[in-house]
Amino acid sequence: MLLGKVSLTPALCTALRISPAFSGIQKQIGAAATQNARLYASSQAAEAVLDKQAVGTTTATKAATAKKAQSVESQSFAVNMFKGQINPSQVFPFPSVMNEEQTQFLQELVPPVSKFFEEVNDPAKNDSLEKVEDSTMESLKEMGAFGLQVPQDLGGVGLTNTQYARLVEIVGQHDLGVGITLGAHQSIGFKGILLVGSPAQKEKYLPKLATGETLAAFCLTEPASGSDAASIKTLATLSPCGKHYILNGGKIWISNGGLAEIFTVFAKMPMMDEKTGQMKDKITAFIVERSFGGVTHGPPEKKMGIKASNTAEVYFENVPVPIENVLGEVGGGFKVAMAILNNGRFGMAAALSGTMKGVITQAVDHAANRVQFGSKIHTYGAIQEKLARMTMLQYVTESMAYMISGNMDSGSKDYHIEAAISKIFASEAAWEVTDECIQVMGGMGFMKGSGVERVMRDLRIFRIFEGTNDILRLFVALNGFQDAGKHLKSLQKALKNPLGNAGLLAGEITKRAKRTAGLSTGLTLQGSVHPELSHSGNLAVKAIEHFGVTVEDMLLKHGKNILHEQFVLKRVADSAIDLYAMVVVLSRASRSLSQGHASAQHEKILCETWCIEAYDRIMKNVKDLKSSSTTQVFKNMKAISAAVVENGGIVAPHPLGF
């Protein structure tokens, strides 16, 4: 315990591993972040998050201080783990958010929806027709499937996020093409109206959207703007009369583009920036009706998968959009886009956990019956490992989906990192699981008749759309760094007034000294994790500690340039994903053990196995980030890439010389 005078000595700075010049770094990160926001703005979330730090350095500090109260109090587990801290409030115990009425209602909804997808919807037919059969569309509309989250008084089913997740899981299990048709409509197509629409807009549009009388589409992507969404060129200019915006531009790869009547369109508008006095392009979101005139679309795109979902180019030619149809604030379109995508992300994890359930059942059925070399193939280790991995991946995904939907239903607004993590994890897990299912089934898996190849083709897009997994990894890492950076900054401020912050400083020094000595810093999950899982809980705690240290190290080493170190960012993100996954299954398995579920011991094994392997992966990433040979590897990769780009392809001459 430090007593007496604490002065800002170089020794102290070293002990706290903070450069005296650190204050500059935080501001620099803020400024550079904004300059480079364009780089990572697909997850439009990144831009808006970086936007929080605003333009210019002084505003960065002001915004940081203003938001300090908010962000320092973040309850998000992911945000805190980047600081090497544990905030268990959102992850332990596993959320159970439905009251009796909601549970009963959901239990009544599941059988008819399942029955419909088992008996009526024909995914193979939808795939070969490259559209959802008309009769199926009609039945889905009658069923109310197009307005699941629209409030009941506006004609929808009024489901909570958790209830929605459960139903979307059924759709995901049977037909992802239908899933995207429904999702493009309600998860993103008109979600903006639900989230930020005015009462008048909601009353006008939601009833017909809820019954499926009109379909919706989300229009952001352009030929030159995919991940770099901030660079969109579709233009909205105020008409001379001041009553309309005139919309001009073209969007590509719009799901439901050929079917929709209502479009959420993002366009840029030149606006006066109050602070600089200069004109700046800001994005605004609009509700555009096809009936406004000037809206046309191209033919359905031919795709690898989700063929039943309509994907088309949409063109806007001098479309008059009434000023009442601005969605959210003028110039606030980016935040709207972020809110929409964030809000819908959990749905993907839920749907994909259903998809995995379905293919695992097929793989198990095959493995349990197929005899080769005299035994059922599920008795062989190679197959056992596949089935086990598939099961764990599904368990993690499902746990993430319902943890996030539970957090959202409890009112949390701070879930964007977790949502991004769940999207990355679910899309990659589903791909791996389905691929292994085909492998288990052998030749049968490759044949159209089994239906698994269709699922594989349908799944590929999930790693690409709604924020490519590569961009989302950068987002997770950068977001985490920003919060960790703020923490370091507040420490740095404390250093300026050591007497007034003796406690904080003393705590930090003790913590770091312990870390250096290899001792536990007192971080614990005891009390949250079930005693039978305490070993795995300890692995998670150790991983968080090492992860927190690594994050700090990277910040101190690279400073503002961390933005450019994508090799580093990817590995930090991968570790964050593994960490969140560990904690999520610890929570779920703990609950099963506490509640004495019949499956509790099985879940315990799933959890323990996952944690052992995730811990190893995290520690490897941590080690790599410290190692000089990995730094060399990054440099080499950069050089290899430069060479093949310059050569337009493979550089090394053919071994045969020609």
Partner 1 sequence: MSRVLVGVKRVIDYAVKIRVKPDHSGVVTDGVKHSMNPFCEIAVEEAVKLKEKKFIKEVVAVSCGPTQVTETIRTALAMGCDRGIHVEVSGKDYEAMGPLQIAKIFAALAKKEEASLVILGKQAIDDDCNQTGQMTAALLDWPQGTFASEVTIDGEKVKVVREIDGGLETIKISMPAVLTADLRLNTPRYATLPNIMKAKKKKIANMKPADLGVDMVSRVEVLRVDEPPTRLAGVKVETVDDLVAKLKANGTI
Q: Please report how close the Cβ of residue 140 comes to partner 1 at its closest, in angstroms.
A: 10
Q: Please report how close the Cβ of residue 565 comes to partner 1 at its closest, in angstroms.
A: 49
Nearest to 391 by CA among 603, 212, 626, 191: 603
Stretch that binds partner 1, among 102-110, 252-260, 410-418, 506-514 (CB under 8 A): 102-110
- 263-276 b/e (C-beta count within 10 Å ≥ 16 → b): bbbbbbbeeeeeee
Q: Please report how close the Cβ of residue 397 comes to partner 1 at its closest, in angstroms.
A: 24
Stretch that binds partner 1, among 109-117, 287-295, 400-408, 442-450 (CB under 8 A): 109-117
Q: Please report how close the Cβ of residue 353 comes to partner 1 at its closest, in angstroms.
A: 20
C-alpha dihedral, 366 to 369 to 370 to 371, nearest 10°: 160
Question: In the set 15, 59, 61, 105, which binds partner 1 (CB under 8 A)?
Answer: 105
Q: How far apart are CA 640 and CA 646, in angstroms?
A: 10
Q: Please report how close the Cβ of residue 446 comes to partner 1 at its closest, in angstroms.
A: 28
Number of residues forming the site for partner 1 (CB under 8 A): 19
Which residue, 113 or 288, has its beta carbon nearer to partner 1?
113
Instruction: Write the binding mask 111 to 130 for partner 1: x where contact by CB under 8 A, - elsewhere.
Output: xxx-xx---x----------
* 3-state DSSP assignment of residue 226: coil
Residues 233/220, Cβ–Cβ less than 8 Å: no
Q: How far apart are CA 280 and CA 54, in angstroms?
A: 14
Bridge partner residues of 288 (DSSP): 263
CA distances to 163, 302, 576, 629 from 109, rounded to whole Å, are 9, 34, 35, 56
> What is the DSSP annotation of 16-77?
HT--TTHHHHHHHHHHHHHHGGGGGTTSHHHHHHHHHT-SSHHHHHHHHHHHHHHHHT---H
Which residue, 139 or 609, has its beta carbon nearer to partner 1?
139
Residues 159/113, Cβ–Cβ less than 8 Å: no
Q: How far apart are CA 426 and CA 382, in angstroms?
A: 24
By CB under 8 A, what part of segment 170-189 binds partner 1? none
Q: Please report how close the Cβ of residue 519 comes to partner 1 at its closest, in angstroms.
A: 48
Stretch that binds partner 1, among 108-116, 173-181, 288-296, 384-392 (CB under 8 A): 108-116
Nearest to 31 by CA among 58, 71, 67: 58
Q: Please report how close the Cβ of residue 415 comes to partner 1 at its closest, in angstroms.
A: 26
Bridge partner residues of 295 (DSSP): 316
Question: In the set 31, 109, 573, 582, which binds partner 1 (CB under 8 A)?
Answer: 109
By CB under 8 A, what part of segment 473-492 binds partner 1? none
CA angle at residue 566 from 563 to 572, to 5 degrees? 95
597 contacts partner 1 (rule: CB under 8 A): no
Catalytic residue (one of 169, 398, 466, 545)? 466
Stretch that binds partner 1, among 6-14, 58-66, 106-114, 226-234 (CB under 8 A): 106-114
Q: How far apart are CA 152 and CA 362, in angstroms?
A: 37
Which residue, 159 or 614, has its beta carbon nearer to partner 1?
159
Q: How far apart are CA 27 and CA 108, in angstroms?
A: 54
Which residue, 159 or 216, has its beta carbon nearer to partner 1?
159
Which residue, 561 or 595, has its beta carbon nearer to partner 1?
595
Helix (H) or strand (E) holding 656: none
Exposed / middle / buried, residue 184 (Cβ in 10 Å: 0-12, 13-18, 19+): buried
466 is known as an active-site residue? yes
Bridge partner residues of 271 (DSSP): 280
Other C-beta atoms closer than 10 Å to the C-beta of 65 total 13
Question: In the set 65, 107, 276, 627, which binds partner 1 (CB under 8 A)?
Answer: 107
Which residue, 120 or 639, has its beta carbon nearer to partner 1?
120
Which residue, 43 or 214, has its beta carbon nearer to partner 1?
214
Which residue, 108 or 646, has its beta carbon nearer to partner 1?
108
Q: Please report how close the Cβ of residue 78 comes to partner 1 at its closest, in angstroms.
A: 34
Which residue, 143 or 271, has its beta carbon nearer to partner 1?
143
* 3-state DSSP assignment of residue 525: coil
Which residue, 149 or 225, has its beta carbon nearer to partner 1?
149
Angle between helices 176-183 and 452-459 (to 10 degrees): 30
CA angle at residue 248 from 246 to 249, to 5 degrees? 155
Residues 355/430, Cβ–Cβ less than 8 Å: yes
Q: Please report how close the Cβ of residue 144 comes to partner 1 at its closest, in angstroms.
A: 4
Q: Please report how close the Cβ of residue 444 comes to partner 1 at its closest, in angstroms.
A: 23
Cβ-Cβ contacts under 8 Å for 119 (sequence gap 6 or more): none
By CB under 8 A, what part of segment 134-173 binds partner 1? 139, 142-145, 148, 152, 157-158
Which residues in this chain contact partner 1 in the complex, by CB under 8 A? Answer: 105, 107-109, 111-113, 115-116, 120, 139, 142-145, 148, 152, 157-158
Q: Could you give the residue numbers annotated as active site?
A: 466
